Structure 1
């Protein structure tokens, strides 16, 4: 019987095997590089940061605070940089119901334009008594507060608020006083960081919405080239001069479809009304089923011209999208991407909208 021998080629000297090994090595190296690149991309892709966006809003409010020193016994008038005046009566600053003495620090924030409303997250969305929410047109939003040392003070007597001067041609006789208000016992909607909707104010407790007086530049009720809105407050916090935005014609819902990585926790979407420089509603209702933003009610007029504004904080940079559109029935607005921008540039764009 013959013994069968198998002839094995020396692997070390085989060109074919060497070629196979080299090709395999290249494949392994390339696969490793691709894997590393993919892993790196997954780690480094910037994500929207909702906490950073909220901090931006809060910082903008803090930076807008103006402080004034008054003698509590004599009271006095403070005037904001944009022209808002607040008059305090003598002995009207109190702590636990008792007038304080000495100096007090009065704080003021005044908001008159749409960009400030958005970047301080103080949109003009109002809430009716029945819970329905509708857009408001504002003549000014104001935060007024007083402190003495570490103590927050209260108002013991009514203080008067006077808006910045307004051209008579721009006056709106339908303005009323609104307050920031929430729906929970622990929801502080008069604090500087309040983001609550606006409700009609009743400072004197008579069961009626507080009225607004219009006075001319000399303090009278007629004449002159400009006028001011005037009203009284009995408590500190946020107030807003508003009127309900009037709707006519058929109405519909509007949905905003945002990129996949965005949701109600990491961005903000607003509805800006064309032709109304101070009408800005935040679309803070998120449909988890549709994964879209919407508003609380079906009260957007068909045919209304608006701009959708979306903002987010991504990798320490403010990002935005602005899209103009005309509302159609069952409107769906699709936002495909956002672009980086400075806050100053965004302010200019927003205040330049029609």
Structure 2
């Protein structure tokens, strides 16, 4: 009898152990392991969804007005191929415009610019744009300057501190901004027009362009760390910073420490005492996985993102959530 009771007790204990183990496994497996290719596909889709297209004849030029009211003027007979040959016939304009931090996150197009020392620092944007013109499989270039007129009310009041920036995708696949002379000999620039309440751009190259200035903060700054769950890294996830009361600023933590599982940056640009939202994004089974955490920055802050804080959302849902942040 004693042996039978012992066997029954062991059986019950085994069932309890299995049940608890299953529950723990369910908790830890709430999200599928992130996949870097799927994460990039989500970003590519978000960018594709923002792309506007227009077909026109190169010899006629075009004045294209975007869904947000920005106008792009390509002058007549002002396109050439990579060998400098003038282009005639039908061509296709592709145009992307981003003014809000929600769409910056889902497309991975933050506003981080290089200063004179080469440091990558947060910018305040009046709009970022990608302009491309093709004819078949040929990528075309401008033979003369083209123009872009951006309504200032898309990002607030007219800001006379704004200048023109050119964007480059770096080796890690992140967009960086440079205000140096990258126009290949073509004239480029920006003027804030009080009469039309707009930014008037003239430029001699296609690709990513930005209306921006550096974010200014006179107080102390610090370098922060954002620790992420074990399965995540800089190939299958990203960390952004949305500053309080700065709707047109999205910073990115662009370095990752594999040993200690944290994101950071090189330069210690985060203001001490500021309130901000840490935005973590990844993917799970082809859907967006994310966490948004409000923090007040102290010197050398370490912020932990736990797997229990992760949620899933559609692209439009995450954009709305981020744009609703103060």
TM-score scaled to structure 2, two decimals?
0.87
* Mapped contact 2:120–2:267 kept (Cα < 8 A): yes
Q: Whole-Å Cα distance in 2 between the matches of residues 240 and 33 of structure 1?
A: 57
1:97 maps to which residue?
84
Residue among 231, 245, 251 paired with 2:221: 251
1:228 maps to which residue?
198
Q: Whole-Å Cα distance in 2 between the matches of residues 244 and 30 of structure 1?
A: 61
Q: Whole-Å Cα distance in 2 between the matches of residues 36 and 250 of structure 1?
A: 48
1:194-343 aligned at under 5 Å gives the runs 195-203=174-182, 211-215=189-193, 222-223=194-195, 227-336=197-306, 337-343=309-315
Instruction: Decide whether aligned partners of structure 1 residues 160 and 289 sit closer, same or farther in structure 2, where only a CA change above 3 A counts.
Output: same
Larger of the two Rg values belongs to structure:
1
What stretches of structure 1 move > 3 A for 4+ residues in a row? 19-38, 40-45, 203-208
Instruction: Give structure 2 stretches of 5+ with no counterpart.
Output: none
Q: Whole-Å Cα distance in 2 between the matches of residues 120 and 233 of structure 1?
A: 24
* More off after superposition, 298-307 vs 198-207: 198-207
Query: How big is each residue's C-alpha offset from its partner over 1:62-96, in whole Å with a ceiling of 9 and x where there is no partner?
Result: 12111111111121211111111111111111112
Instruction: Give structure 1 stretches of 5+ with no counterpart.
Output: 1-14, 188-193, 216-221
Q: Does 1:54 align with 2:40?
A: yes
Q: Secondary structure at the match of 1:57?
A: helix
Instruction: Decide whether aligned partners of structure 1 residues 168 and 140 sit closer, same or farther in structure 2, where only a CA change above 3 A counts.
Output: closer
1:13-92 aligned at under 5 Å gives the runs 19=4, 46-92=32-78
Instruction: Decide whether aligned partners of structure 1 residues 23 and 281 sit closer, same or farther in structure 2, where only a CA change above 3 A counts.
Output: same
RMSD of aligned residue pairs (Cα, Å): 3.1
Instruction: Decide whether aligned partners of structure 1 residues 101 and 253 sit closer, same or farther in structure 2, where only a CA change above 3 A counts.
Output: same
1:60-209 aligned at under 5 Å gives the runs 60-95=46-81, 96-166=83-153, 170-181=157-168, 195-203=174-182
Q: Secondary structure at the match of 1:98?
A: coil
Aligned residues: 322
TM-score scaled to structure 1, two decimals?
0.81
Q: Whole-Å Cα distance in 2 between the matches of residues 26 and 278 of structure 1?
A: 61
Instruction: Decide whether aligned partners of structure 1 residues 249 and 107 sit closer, same or farther in structure 2, where only a CA change above 3 A counts.
Output: same
